[in-house]
Amino acid sequence: MLLVNHSYEEEAMSTKRRVLAGAAIALSAAMFAFSLWVYQNTGDWVALIFMAMSMVYGFVFASTRLRAPLGDRSDDNHRND
């Protein structure tokens, strides 16, 4: 019989990961907005590169592919042996 075993430490780590992922997404959105502002005011092509990279970072941090390397297995079933 498969049971979900959530200890207090696992819940705390899961919450920390969500907070860090949210902070990373917010930071990448702020980088995008700042790069857009710089590009609009200066026309500098480097700002376009920073806009593109911050958008990529946002997608990476928001994707579920990043959760596995960070050790977030909240959707997996764990055996309670």
Range of the domain at 47: 21-66
H-helix segments, 1-74: 8-42, 45-62
| 28 occurs within a structural domain | yes
Across 7-16, 18-27, 72-81, the highest mean pLDDT is recorded for 18-27
Total domains in the fold of the chain: 1
| 48 occurs within a structural domain | yes
Q: What is the per-residue pLDDT across 18-27, written as a single tens digit (0 to 9) for each?
A: 788 888 889 9
Q: What is the per-residue pLDDT across 46-65, written as a single tens digit (0 to 9) for each?
A: 999 999 999 998 888 877 55
pTM, full prediction: 0.62
How many Cβ atoms from other residues are within 10 Å of residue 22's Cβ?
Answer: 12
| 53 occurs within a structural domain | yes
Nearest to 62 by CA among 24, 5, 14, 31: 24
Q: What tokens were used for 14? A: 């899961």
